[in-house]
Structure 1
Amino acid sequence: MSEVTRLALVTHAVTEAVTAARFPADEPLSEPGARAVARAARPVRLERAELVVTAPELRTRQTAEGLGLAATSEPALGDWRCGDWSGRSMDALAPEDLMAWLTDPAHRPPGGESIVELLERVRTWLGTLTASPRRIAAVTHPAIVRAVVLLALDAPPKSLWRVDIPPLSVTTLHGRPSAWTLRTTAHPLTPVG
């Protein structure tokens, strides 16, 4: 059996945008999110990581720091780029724009990226991980984790919104140059004690 890359993807804790159903912007964790991180137990798979990376946004860096992870920034893990929609409520969009975004993976918000483009960005990043097998922990966003799950399962892009990835959860995979295998999905980080 060849060596595999072991990847643990941690989603950031709750932000005000998550609670209010707004499109993401570069924002800090909410007070409840910061408290949840402070109470969370760090899983052994994160302790064993030989490489720890985080998305560049503040909320992912705060989650990594709160979990005691010394991480380097990885731009490919940045959140789905929603362009002019950043910080806006879903209710503020024209119904036809919202429906196009939810149903057409090639639809791009003004100044943002489509689901198809997001998947390609994540596919490229995943392709760099299996060259030298090791244990990797990455603190990122639910959209990135959804993309990884779809790519591992070879699921169509329109399935992205059918994968529920809650805040402060861990999804694990094993990767070889030929394919990724999904091990666990959205396992919550449990509170200490």
Structure 2
Amino acid sequence: MAGMVRLDLVSHGITGALRAGRFPDDEPLLDTWAAAPVARPPAVVLTGPEQRAVRTAAVLGVRAEVDPALRDLDAGRWRGLGLAELPPEQLHAWLTDPAFAGHGGESVVAVVARVGAWLAEVAAREAAVLAVTHPAVVRAAVVTALDAPPSAFWRVDVPPGSRTRLHFRGAWTLRLPA
């Protein structure tokens, strides 16, 4: 049996889109967002390619390698739009049908599959990993770890700057804080 893998997923900090309830584009963190540095980062530190993830890693004081698999869910034509600007029937489909991709971007099913494949790669590394990424990626990782259906995606609340810990020893488990 392989050794245990520890994966810490950190959601990026506050952005204008998060504060305003808009689908993000590649935007910076708000200047007012701050976080305590990571005291002892593991040897493997990864980040999504968007500037909000890269900047969060910098705020945390870690040098991170960009991993394209940690990119945010692609909102397609909805980038930059607020929820109130969407046709109600499309918003309803987005929130209730995990296969919906009517915005021309990535469906929840697709992001869960992408993150599931990435988790398999992390498990094979057999090393502690810190990944700075996006709420959607963290949600997809939790759904995968719990072997939940993609429809559970929206039931996982991931605050900005939060840390989610997963362990792998033959299967992924979610570790809740003590």
TM-score normalised by the shorter chain: which range applies?
over 0.9
Matches within 5 A, 1:1-193: 2-33=2-33, 36-37=34-35, 40-42=36-38, 44=39, 47-176=40-169, 178-184=170-176
Deviation at 1:2?
4.0
Gaps of 5+ in 2: none
Looking at structure 1, the residues matched to 153 and 89 of structure 2 have their Cα atoms a distance apart, in angstroms, of 19
CA–CA separation in structure 1 for the residues paired with 2:82 and 2:3? 45
User: What letter is aligned with 1:102?
Assistant: L
Distance in 2 of aligned mates of 1:82 and 1:41: 30
Question: Conserved in 2, the CA contact under 8 Å of 1:51 and 1:135?
Answer: yes
Distance 1:118 1:2 in 2: 27
1:56 deviates by: 0.2
The CA distance in 2 between the partners of 1:48 and 1:60, in whole Å, is 16
RMSD across aligned positions (CA): 1.5
Alignment TM-score, normalising by the size of structure 1 = 0.88
Provide the aligned length of Structure 1 versus Structure 2: 178
**How far, CA to CA, are the matches of 1:132 and 1:81 in structure 2?**
27
Q: Which moved more, 1:127-136 or 1:100-109?
A: 127-136
Q: Are the aligned partners of 1:3 and 1:133 in contact in 2 as well (CA < 8 Å)?
A: yes
8 Å contact 2:13–2:161 — kept in the other structure? yes
In structure 1, list runs of 5 or more residues that go unmatched.
Answer: 188-193
- Measured in 2, the distance between the counterparts of 1:132 and 1:56 equals 21
What amino acid maps onto 2:146 in structure 1? L
Q: Deviations over 1:59-108 (max 9, x none)?
A: 01001011110001000000010100001011000000000000000001
Q: CA deviation at 1:132?
A: 2.9
Provide the TM-score with structure 2 as the length reference: 0.95
Q: Could you say what secondary structure the match of 1:131 adopts?
A: helix
Counterpart Cα distance in 2 of 1:62 and 1:5? 26
- 4+ residue segments displaced more than 3 Å: none
